[in-house]
Amino acid sequence: MNVVLFGATGMVGGGVLIECLEESSVSRVLSVARRPIRRSHPKLDELVLQDLFQLADRRHELRGFDACFYCLGVSAVGMTEVAYDRLTFELTMSVAGLLSEMSPSIRFCFVSGQGTDSTERGRSMWARVKGKAENRLLSMLDTYVFRPGFILPLKGVRSRTRIYRILYGLSRPLHPVLPRLFPRHVTTSENIGRAMIAVARDGYERRILENPDIDRAARAETRHPSA
């Protein structure tokens, strides 16, 4: 399976990258990001662009992919709706359009968030914008939406957002028990990566995966024999 990964320099994307590189059924990973990963691996290629809205100029490099793991995201804290919409909706649609053109049969796995508003009419700005992105993607491509809750970072990955790093630091003593205490609301960066691989390969019974679905798909991937 050839995978194009967006957001590998972030916490979620970094966790997904680790699982892709460890999974033998993933033969190639192209990381598309604004900054280099500073990591070398035989099946890893990088496309570094300061402005991802200029990706159309490199569209020829998006041919031949089986799956897209779209893990790009920004915190809505302190952002206007216009600014958040540009990075969360407009950029995602731009990427999806290019991929549908260059790799028409691609399966698009989109990281959203628990509490996303599919009606696009709720009070929460981030939830409305995420809901709009989900709805449009589901109408455009072979899309599966991942809505994780609280994500525990594993295998050395860490958030680039300061407030999240502080939150993770304060909650660290509880990390071993959180998934058992709140299974509907807590998952791990490892589970998201493994679930994406499983869904990209085998699909899933529903198009929107909430936190328990992510963990269920991850367990299925763990049981799947490596290719």
Q: What is the mean pLDDT of each run of 10 residues along the chain (227 residues)?
A: 96 96 96 92 96 96 97 90 97 97 97 96 96 98 96 80 65 73 87 97 97 94 59
Rounded to the nearest 5°, which phi and psi values hold at 12?
Answer: -65, -50
Q: Indicate the DSSP class of residue 86.
A: I
pLDDT at 53: 96
Q: How far apart are CA 139 and CA 153, in angstroms?
A: 31
Please give the residue range of the domain that contains residue 9: 2-223
- What is the number of structural domains in the chain? 1
pLDDT at 227: 44
CATH number at residue 217: 3.40.50.720
From residue 227, give the alpha-carbon distance in Å to each of 22, 23, 90, 193, 201: 12, 9, 36, 17, 11
Within a 13 Å sphere around the CA of 95, how many CA atoms are in the beta-carbon half? 28
